[in-house]
Amino acid sequence: MQYKRIVIKLGTNLITGGSGGLDLGVMATLAGQVAELHRKGHEIILVSSGAVAAGRELLGIKNKLKDIPFKQVMASVGQNRLMNIYYGLFLDAAGADRPQGNLHSQ
């Protein structure tokens, strides 16, 4: 049976390589694999964790506080960064030129 729609869940530990910060090399490899599935005609639904880790990394916070308000702040800061990184990685995987004004700098 050939599946048309595939749901892919990327957990924090995977996209950080267990380091606590985003591993752009791992993320680029995963984006390439997802892009290849899309080129083959699959509809991809990507679900990703990692917003808290992205926010913590962006703000330079090393310790992992467990209280909910801290996690909410880190997630709100990190979500935009995480989506911007994915945007750039998928453009790269597709071989597309990046539009002017793209904030993805890594």
Q: 27-64, pLDDT tens digit by residue? A: 999 999 999 999 999 999 999 999 999 999 999 998 87
Whether the CB-CB separation of 106 and 85 falls below 8 Å is answered with yes
The pair of structure tokens assigned to 53 is 């880790």
Nearest to 11 by CA among 62, 82, 106, 65: 82
Residue 101 domain flag: no
Residue 103 domain flag: no
Nearest to 71 by CA among 18, 79, 23: 79
**For residue 77, what pLDDT is reported?**
95
d(CA 35, CA 33): 5
- The number of distinct structural domains making up the chain is 1
Residue 102 domain flag: no
- The pTM of this model reads 0.82
Query: What is the band of 1 on the pLDDT scale with cuts at 50, 70, 90?
Result: low
Whether the CB-CB separation of 53 and 16 falls below 8 Å is answered with yes
How many residues does this entry show for the chain? Answer: 106
Residue 99 domain flag: no
Domain containing 71: what range? 5-94
Residue 50 domain flag: yes
**For residue 3, what pLDDT is reported?**
80
Residue 104 domain flag: no
88: Cβ–Cβ under 8 A, 6 or more apart, which residues? 98, 102, 104, 106
